[in-house]
Structure 1
Amino acid sequence: MTTTAAPTPPPGGATPLRPTGSPRTGRSGRAGRRRRRAPAWVVPTSLIAFSFIPIAVGSVRMVSLTGAVDVSDTLGAAPAPVPALVAHVVGITIYVVLGALQFHRGLRARRPRWHRWSGRVTAPAGIVAAVSGVWLALAAVGPHANSVLVVTRVLVGAGMVVALVLGVRAAVGRDFRHHRAWMVRAYALGQGAGTQVVVVGVVGSAMGGALTPLVEAVLFAAAWGINLAIGEWSIRRG
């Protein structure tokens, strides 16, 4: 039988060099190749900035109720029930701003109590915004109303309420994985106005501003669809 001689240790008792393909080197190599995350403030800041235009437009419409300004020609705003408009603007403003802060990883980890208490404000504000949005959509029903868009807005408002209720229910049951998923979906629907400004603005400019009621409804639905797709991607990405 042939025996293999053991490797001779280097002089002075030095530790032999570890082979290039050793597990430790492999682990460090994988760690070095890991994709770096963006800073925690990027997502919430971007979401708040994205909400600025629709919040500003809603605030101007609310101020117009006092008679100080007339925005009917500029915004093409149809008459709306005053309580519904005020509830929607106030509710959605609180919802998108506080909701954006919930996406700050470090804030959730370091301030869990703040996360819980702000969530108790964010969820009801989202429900108020969704219900008042449905109210505004139904109030716009008339001979010249875009019926497809009205139905779409009602479905989105109802879906947002369902997502918020399921998210709160999951949190109460300490099912935080489903809580996060449903809250992300609800926020995606609540952020529809910001995406609609971009989608409708770009397509409207390309078409010279002439949008048929059906095209307008499709663009609004596409904006909500884009938000939901991004939300689902973030849920699966974890």
Structure 2
Amino acid sequence: MTTRSRLVPISLVALSLVPVVAGAFRVTELAAGAPIDDGNARFFAAPVPVVLHIVGATVYCLLGAFQFDAGLRRRRPGRHRAAGRVLIPCGLVAALSGMWMAVCYELPPVDGTGVMLLRLVVGGAMVLSIVLGFAAVRRRDFAGHRAWMMRGYALGVAAGTQAFTHLPWAVAGVAPDELGRFVAMAAGWVINLAVAEWLIRRSRRGPVPARAAVARPVG
């Protein structure tokens, strides 16, 4: 990988580190039988969905970051396709388990109904993006495939961005109220989608070279 092409996946991996580390801590807590309190009781009561969510999201965010390396796609199209076959189910598992938890787990007091509905909308949009991206590549619409997969990834990796959108409360040393939590969560998803749409529109300003298009079959 060239230095420039390496920069994008490295940046995305760095953005993913906060939720990945938090997820690893949660799985360790469940495996080790940590003391149960109001913050983790729902996870101990039904651990399967949260473990599926963490594993799916971790693979989706970390492996998915390297799908954005254009040089790697051109040199190793088979690797890009193989990664895509892993990423599609992982992304779907992450989104669907997140939606399940939003509905079936007891709501934390700070989240409220607004955040629950927001999670459902975003989870549904992520599932739709992945499905449309897969459908696009099946009909060899590589530009559409890339666009939809970028949108799905932007939604999936937003937990990293949300660590920054919560910074004002962290700096102030206070917990956000329900409205603040809703705004911080929504801002993370909106920022990521805005960046993804900007990149998609930028890539469509010129024709996609045939060789590059062939290198984008899945993922």
Query: Which protein is bigger by CA-based radius of gyration?
Result: 1
CA distance in 2, matches of 1:50, 1:143: 25
The question of 1:127 aligning with 2:74 is answered no
Q: Distance in 2 between matches of 1:155 and 1:199?
A: 19
The answer for the alignment partner of 1:7 in structure 2 is none
The residue number in structure 1 matching 2:79 is 114
Equivalent residue in structure 1 for 2:23, among 40, 46, 58: 58
The CA deviation string for residues 189-215 of structure 1, in whole angstroms up to 9 with x for no partner, is: 001110111111x12135431311121
Please point out which of 86, 105, 108 is paired with 2:70: 105
Give the match's secondary structure for 1:210.
coil
Matches within 5 A, 1:157-196: 157-196=123-162
Give unpaired runs (5+ residues) of structure 2: 204-219
Query: Residues 185, 92 of structure 1: CA spacing in aligned structure 2 closer, same or farther, 3 A cutoff?
Result: same
Whether 2:10 is the aligned partner of 1:39: answer no
Deviation string for 1:110-168 (max 9, x for gaps)? Answer: 11111111101111100000001111111234594611001001111110000000000
Higher fraction of helix: 2
* Offset, 1:92: 0.5
1:92 corresponds to which of 30, 52, 57? 57
CA RMSD of aligned residues (A): 2.0
Aligned length: 199
CA contact (8 A) 1:168 1:179 kept: yes
Structure 1 stretches of 5 or more lacking a match?
1-36
Q: 1:155 aligns with which of 106, 114, 121?
A: 121
2: CA distance between counterparts of 1:72 and 1:104? 42
Identity of aligned residues (%): 44
In 2, the alpha carbon distance for the partners of 1:141 and 1:69 equals 19
Q: Is 2:42 aligned against 1:79? A: yes
Q: Give TM-score, length-normalised by structure 2.
A: 0.85
The whole-number CA distance in structure 2 between the counterparts of 1:142 and 1:121 is: 31
Q: Which structure is higher in RCO with an 8 Å CA cutoff and minimum separation 6? A: 2
Looking at structure 1, the residues matched to 155 and 12 of structure 2 have their Cα atoms a distance apart, in angstroms, of 13
| Amino acid corresponding to residue 208 of structure 1 in structure 2 | G
The amino acid of 2:134's aligned partner reads V
| 1:72–1:110 CA distance, 2 compared to 1 (3 A) | farther
Task: Write the letter of the residue equivalent to 1:194.
Answer: G
